[in-house]
Amino acid sequence: MSLGSHLQELRKKHQSLSEAVEEAQRQPGSDDLAIAEMKKQKLRIKEEIARLSQS
């Protein structure tokens, strides 16, 4: 897998997680722990994208 396609996949995952977090936050009685975990995962992906983009 080339760097460009890897970055593209990471961006897709990041966008997907963003949408999932937004949807979960709109639901009453949503699981705050699950939302926090999704946000952490989203941040890790964002940091990975930034790291790979600088290389």
Taking the chain (55 residues) in consecutive chunks of 10 residues, what is each chunk's mean pLDDT? 92 98 93 96 98 90
- pLDDT for the residue numbered 20: 96
pTM score of the predicted model: 0.87
The residues spanned by each domain of the chain are 3-54
- pLDDT for the residue numbered 1: 74
Closest CA relative to residue 1, chosen from 52, 47, 40, 50: 52
